[in-house]
Structure 1
């Protein structure tokens, strides 16, 4: 096992002049990225930053975000990447709770981070990238000029224990403050090696990613590329799919990681033949269930690329994957457990179940988090000692069914199960049924109060222009494909679904 920054250093030694990062019109070699991150690490060290200190990063996807992530690790500190859309009140609360020593940010977000500073509490040093701002306090500093020609001072990367914290990743959170997931160098190095092995990722790969680096699925693309010697082509977002496809085609991307929303946008484009995507060999999906109908469309419209469906959580990054050769044969499955980990199902009393049953998924391995930052109660609810091995295991909170060979099929979050007419309904199963209808782009299903049923099933549906679908069409389709108690009593057509900062559809805000 190696420290994360040591994995990067290995790639620097092996291929120093190879392009490591393409972003914002810049092309940085492994050597150049190494030099820039070293300079930032030295600045952090001079400010007294040491092992275990927390550093907040509020930056768009870009060169500076990549440099900052590696620099913090090289200084022995702990990265805390925040989504640039984070509001000031939440940013202030999270930085205070984690006692952040430094905030690395950009001038375009000055209104947010200055408002967060005014909330009080701990006042970290703020380093700001970009023009159009002037320091308002002695704690605000201009981003160091890492491109300036200068003789570097002697520097050695920090040596910390493999179980030292590398990252605190905050979950999106539906109520209260997000949980701070504590991930060590061992956690992240082990899962990075595992993912690189099963995909596999090669040194000659070009990974195109428009996923935010503040999101574990996005961060894992950076870790994969820089640890294997592959090239990362990083975009700020996928808001303009045609522009993203231009970049993918020009850079001859070979790997495209995406979430279902991005794939829906891609499939919404009528003529993909406008772009030469023949270099693409692999598409991966994670973060949210990828509808079976969308999987089929992707395979039909992009037959040159293999599709790998994956499942995981922030608390351990990845738990299972469905190999491309199994996607058509096992519709709806998220695969089987990873090499080097153990996973099993338990009933409501915590007893192990045999494969072929339904229950909550439990996972065990080097990739499982150390716990939640300063939250022993929720840590104890999630982690427990497995009496069979004496090792820590984690309850996922997700319900699955499995076949006798251990292939997993997601049912629902335990907290999302709808109880209606005395029956239990999986929102995911209803969503999958509706998403098979021609003209449906995406949907969410949830409970709404009902005087007779307790809760009734409601679907919020986004449809393509000109689909002509009405409520009775959706209900008839569900009656033909689902048990009666699972059929939505109400259907609402909406222009778009609300989303979390990481892009997942959310029921919050739907009425």
Structure 2
């Protein structure tokens, strides 16, 4: 199966059903299919060939959602770039993937003018809205919709062809393009919708950027099972999003820890959230204290705590009936996959031991685009030729096979001869009344080697460093207690809502 067949099969089966709600518009599956076909035919007319890269520099929008399927229908590989990305990084990504087409907003015309002389692979620019353009030729999205056929293009791909390149945030270096073929994406979407129990009546809220794989898969999965996606620009205005949940009778709400932190501070009583069936979390593990608070705030809603990374899409999920018994776990391998913990010599470790998480399954991506060195480090073959993903994350497993995140390998703090997992300290801090957000890093120390430093965001202005340290001494082993505590008004975050510890360092 090919990824764009998610849309095509739903359009054939449910042509009049509302597929996409965004920007004040409501499009049926038939309308989305027609627009995607017109854009795909325009791309082919512009010379796009099988495997060419089509880049999108757009916020969440109808045109981005439709364009992703159009690129696939044309036989191309889609490359979503976060719309807040600056010129240098945008140029790096476009040059790295040798993009042939760039689709962006008219108001980004000035950026396009700067990109064209330094991204020589670009042959076509499509603008989704009017703009002041004098220096380059472009196609308008509206003109394409008026001029091109809505006939479905013939298929040219097989499921081993690339579907997309998702660029990682690059917080520790140049961004890497994770290569996902159609079979990777189809398997991951099937597996995730299986354990979520998605049905056609599900209405899913999309507030995460489609340039982020977690946000992207909401679009792909909804179109696979024939539901409705309510696509928003983001979570900047929580009250408006809560109102949207009420208005659209949303049943599924995927989010990340930073969004849940905001939700837990709000009075939800003015909003009718009774339509919600499930909420999901990934990107970073939720502290057990937040899980308890979410369950109290949403007593009738099923919470899925999950773990994944771009290189495998999704890896682990905690069955909701285990939340009470294992609130610190991110669960079991998703259906159809295998995971285990290895030491540095490649030996599988028994329950309780800490080592690197290794993943095996059809969702293990193809590697990094034009980067054989980093591909070889992360993706390795086993003795029968299966591609394994070495995640770079430290985990332990309990006797029943449930996994617990410990730390990123490069985040571990070595203090006073002991190894400190920042996540363990952060989880303790979240248990202190008044702590909204916490991040822990290691800083150079002449005596300890590294000292533990905590950054804390609080909504209790009277909370003191002494109170934080006393609480930590009560709940943590001595070597884990922070030496330093710094109060912040906010913590730096990536475009996908993760706390960006490299900026703290």
TM-score class normalised by the smaller sequence: over 0.9
Q: Per the alignment, do residues 147 and 48 of structure 1 end up closer, same or farther by CA in structure 2, a change over 3 Å counting? A: closer
Q: 1:416 aligns with which of 411, 416, 421?
A: 411
Superimposed CA distance per residue, residues 377-421 of structure 1 (whole angstroms, 9 cap, x where no aligned partner): 10000111112x431111011111111111000000111101111
* Aligned residue number for residue 495 of structure 1: 489
* Aligned-residue offset at 1:176: 2.8
C-alpha deviation, 1:467, in angstroms: 4.5
User: Hey, what's the Cα distance between the residues in 2 that align with 1:7 and 1:27?
Assistant: 19
Q: CA deviation at 1:50?
A: 1.2
Residue 54 (structure 2) aligns with: 55
Query: For the structure 1 residues 22 and 42, does the alpha-carbon distance in structure 2 shift closer, same or farther, using more than 3 Å as the test?
Result: same
Report the Cα distance in structure 2 between the residues aligned to 1:124 and 1:448, rounded to whole angstroms.
48
TM-score by length of 2: 0.97
- Whole-Å separation in 2 of the counterparts to 1:257 and 1:354: 33
Residue 330 of structure 1: aligned partner: 326
Distance in structure 2 (CA, Å) of the matches to 1:190 and 1:151: 33
Alignment match of 2:501 (pick from 495, 504, 507): 507
Partner of 1:344: 340
Cα separation, 2, equivalents of 1:42 and 1:356: 55
- Residue 359 of structure 2, aligned match among 360, 363, 368: 363
Question: Which residue number corresponds to residue 441 of structure 1?
Answer: 436
Contact 1:20 1:226 (C-alpha < 8 Å) held by counterparts: yes
Q: For 1:446-486, what per-residue CA distance to the aligned partner results, in whole angstroms no more than 9, with x for missing partners? A: 0111111121110000001x352111111111111111111
Matching of residue 258 in structure 1 with residue 255 in structure 2 = yes
2:129 aligns to what? 130
Structure 2: which 5+ residue stretches go unaligned? none
Would the alpha carbon gap of residues 508 and 124 (structure 1) be closer, same or farther in structure 2, given more than 3 Å must change?
farther
2 CA distance for matches of 1:87 and 1:467?
A: 35
CA distance in 2, matches of 1:93, 1:236: 25
The equivalent of 1:241 in structure 2 is 238
Contact 1:356 1:406 in 2 (8 A): no
Deviations 1:23-67 (A, max 9, x none): 010000000000000000000000110110011100010100001
Contact 1:461 1:493 in 2 (8 A): yes
Partner of 2:170: 173
**Contact 2:106–2:128 under 8 Å retained in 1:** yes
Count of matched residue pairs: 505
> 1:305 corresponds to which residue?
301
Which residue of 194, 198, 210 corresponds with 2:191? 194
**Residue pair 2:77, 2:165 contacting (<8 A) in 1 also:** yes
Shift of 1:174: 1.8
Q: 1:299 to 1:155 in 2, by over 3 A?
A: closer
**Which deviates the most, 404-413 or 353-362?**
353-362
Distance in 2, Cα, partners of 1:484 & 1:124: 61
User: C-alpha displacement at 1:7, in angstroms?
Assistant: 2.2
Q: In the TM superposition, what are the counterparts of 1:368-387 in structure 2 within 5 Å?
A: 368-387=364-383
Cα shift at 1:357: 2.7
Listed one character per residue, the Cα deviations across residues 168-219 of structure 1 (whole Å, up to 9, x for unaligned) are: 0000012331011000000000000000100011100000110000000000
| CA RMSD in angstroms, aligned pairs only | 1.4
Which residue of 442, 448, 455 corresponds with 1:453?
A: 448
Aligned partners of 2:38 and 2:148 also within 8 Å: no
TM-score calculated relative to the size of structure 1: 0.96
- Secondary structure of 1:272's partner? coil
> What does the per-residue CA deviation read over 1:415-450, in whole Å, with 9 as the maximum and x for residues that have no partner?
110111111110111111101111100110001111
More divergent stretch after superposition (391-400 vs 467-476): 467-476
Q: Partner residue of 2:140?
A: 142
State yes or no: 1:428 paired with 2:398: no
1:94 positional shift:
1.3
Check conservation: 2:258, 2:497, Cα contact below 8 A: yes
Distance 1:326 1:124 in 2: 52
Quote how far apart the aligned CAs of 1:144 are: 4.1
Q: Distance in 2 between matches of 1:369 and 1:135?
A: 41
For the Cα contact (< 8 Å) 2:351–2:398, is it kept in 1? yes
For residues 324 and 395 of structure 1, do their structure 2 counterparts lie closer, same or farther at Cα, with a shift above 3 Å needed?
same
Cα pair distance change 1:132/1:7, threshold 3 Å: closer
Tell me what 1:17 maps to: 16
Shift of 1:3: 0.4
Instruction: Note if contact 1:40-1:144 (Cα within 8 Å) is conserved in structure 2.
Output: no
User: Which residue matches 2:96?
Assistant: 97
User: Which position in structure 1 is the counterpart of 2:471?
Assistant: 477
How many angstroms apart in 2 are the aligned matches of 1:311 and 1:406?
15
Which residue of structure 1 lines up, in the alignment, with residue 388 of structure 2? 393
